[in-house]
Amino acid sequence: MSITIYRIHSIPSSTNAYTTGRMETWTMKPDGTYTNEALAREAVIAGNLKYSELSRFLIDLTLDERDDFIENFCFNSSHLHLQKVFLGKPSKDLINAIIKSVKDQGTSVHRIV
What's the pLDDT score for residue 83?
Answer: 87
**Predicted local distance difference test score (pLDDT) of residue 13:** 74
Of 96, 103, 112, the C-alpha closest to 21 is: 103
Is the pLDDT at 5 greater than 80, yes or no? yes
The torsion angle over the Cα atoms of residues 103, 106, 107 and 109, rounded to 10 degrees, is: 30
CA angle 89/58/67 to nearest 5° reads 70
62 vs 79, more confident = 62
pLDDT in tens, 10-24: 887 766 666 666 778
- Per the structure, the count of domains in the chain is 1
How confident is the model over 24-49, as a mean pLDDT? 93
Structural domain range at position 60: 3-112
Q: What is the pLDDT of residue 16?
A: 64
pTM: 0.82
